[in-house]
Amino acid sequence: MSEEKKTIYSGMQATGNLTLGNYLGALKNWVNLHQDYNCLFGIMDLHSLTVRQDPAAFKKHARSLYALYVAAGLSPEENIIYYQSHVPAHAELGWILDCFTYMGELNRMTQFKDKSAKHADNINAGLYTYPALMAADILLYQADLVPVGADQKQHLELCRDVAQRFNSIYGDVFTIPDGYFGKTSAKVMSLQEPEKKMSKSDENLNATILLTDDKDTVIRKFKRAVTDSEANIAYRDEQPGIKNLINIYSAVTEKTPEEVVKEFEGKGYGDFKMAVGEAVASELAPLQERYNDILKNKDYLDQMIRTNDEKAAILANKTLRKVHKKVGLTDRVYYPFPPKKEEPKEEVPAADDGAYVQMSLTATKIKDKDTITVKENKKRK
């Protein structure tokens, strides 16, 4: 990470297959950020658990998300792309920040209210404290900037408040992050209910274009997109279905909505839907090719995941260690990353027999797939 560059933190949940909304609204815009910023992109799998996940599908979505990040152009060499759950510091700082977040603040979160209404049978504590975990995600990496859509502004505000509260008690521990407002990105709406945003967890398959949909599927879904009976391609709120298609076409072709309206003047909805489908399918084709190559190359993907998890953990643990110290938690003998250097070994008294166990847990070494091996020397007196 370059010291001259600011740090940007962002991520997505592994709650389903990525949609065109996730791509045009976020992923596509992240690609060139690394030229100007140190970037961390998380697979926010702990957040995803706030909604019940099918374990097998969840695992698949998380891996697919990683491959899609890379296929879309995020570089695991230039950026840090990692799994949130592989860096335990997230959950740990999340808990500590829970203790610095007031219920009154959490009660105000509109996302909690929306998600509670949507998942009335599973209004869990994780859903409620989601913003504290999100604050931990950002603060662990001392992020300066966080790309946020309108729906996340409230969470970022809360993150700033909690960080300021913590800093006011313990000194400058956390960087206070600002929102990053880059190029305005498209908000993609559902193809079946254009008043609602396109979401990866939507159960209506015709409502979403998945990044992995083949050309025929993409075109079929656009043909079925809900429009209106005006038979007029105009960019206005009264025609939300057509407005959404114009926005999508405009984002993919980089034309303005006015240029799109002009291009299709006098044409029928059928022709327009076909053109949108063709344009989106062409945009997705190279990404899909890369995605399939990455998934096939299992060793390469595993290696990238390991290296990036480790890079993230080193940064996260640096902050976590500082936080532990500030709040007065007892020193640890072991932080997996970064390897401990010169700190003296600690003697841990054992039970009544007067014996003690001296633990010297030294640097971690990654051995195989998901295994982190720790060298542990136990001496008994």
Binding site for ligand AQP (CB under 6 A): 12-13, 15-16, 19, 21-22, 25-26, 44, 149, 187-188, 197-201
Which residue, 123 or 314, is less far from ligand AQP as judged by CB? 123
Q: Which among 197, 215, 255, 322 is annotated as catalytic?
A: 197
Q: Which among 28, 115, 273, 311 is annotated as catalytic?
A: 115
Name the phi and psi angles at 348, rounded to 5. Answer: -105, 110
Which residue, 124 or 199, is less far from ligand AQP as judged by CB? 199
Q: In whole angstroms, how close is the CB of 122 to ligand AQP at the nearest point?
A: 14
Q: Give the burial class of 341: count Cβ atoms within 10 A of its Cβ; 0-12 exposed, 13-18 middle, 19 or more buried.
A: exposed
Which residue, 12 or 275, is less far from ligand AQP as judged by CB? 12
Examine the residue annotation and report whether 200 is marked as an active-site residue of this protein. yes
Name the phi and psi angles at 245, rounded to 5. Answer: -65, -35
Q: In whole angstroms, how close is the CB of 198 to ligand AQP at the nearest point?
A: 4
Q: In whole angstroms, how close is the CB of 153 to ligand AQP at the nearest point?
A: 11
The CA distance from 16 to 201, in Å, is: 6
How is the beta sheet containing 356-366 ordered, strand by strand? 346-349, 356-366, 372-380
Which residue, 128 or 337, is less far from ligand AQP as judged by CB? 128
The CA distance from 181 to 150, in Å, is: 10
Do 112 and 127 touch, CB atoms closer than 8 A? yes
Which residue, 188 or 233, is less far from ligand AQP as judged by CB? 188
The CA distance from 10 to 34, in Å, is: 12
Among 221, 241, 223, smallest CA distance to 233 is for 241
H or E segment to which residue 48 belongs: helix 45-48
Which residue, 87 or 191, is less far from ligand AQP as judged by CB? 191
Q: In whole angstroms, how close is the CB of 24 to ligand AQP at the nearest point?
A: 6
Q: In whole angstroms, how close is the CB of 21 to ligand AQP at the nearest point?
A: 3
- Write the Ramachandran bin of 334: left for phi over 0, alpha for psi from -120 to 50, otherwise beta: beta
Ranked by CB distance to ligand AQP, the top (closest) residue is 25
Examine the residue annotation and report whether 197 is marked as an active-site residue of this protein. yes
Q: Where would I find the beta strands (DSSP E) of the chain?
A: 6-12, 37-43, 80-83, 145-147, 178-180, 346-349, 356-366, 372-380
8-state DSSP, 232: -
Which residue, 141 or 337, is less far from ligand AQP as judged by CB? 141
The CA distance from 128 to 310, in Å, is: 29
- Write the Ramachandran bin of 328: left for phi over 0, alpha for psi from -120 to 50, otherwise beta: left
Q: In whole angstroms, how close is the CB of 94 to ligand AQP at the nearest point?
A: 16
Which residue, 211 or 323, is less far from ligand AQP as judged by CB? 211
The CA distance from 44 to 50, in Å, is: 11
Q: In whole angstroms, how close is the CB of 52 to ligand AQP at the nearest point?
A: 12
Q: For the stretch 279-310, what's the b/e string if a residue is b when 16 or more beta carbons lie within 10 angstroms of its beta carbon?
A: bbbebbeebbeebeebbeeeeebeebbbbbbb
Examine the residue annotation and report whether 367 is marked as an active-site residue of this protein. no
Other CB atoms closer than 10 Å to residue 42's CB: what's the count?
27
Q: In whole angstroms, how close is the CB of 380 to ligand AQP at the nearest point?
A: 49
Give catalytic residues, as residue numbers.
115, 197, 200
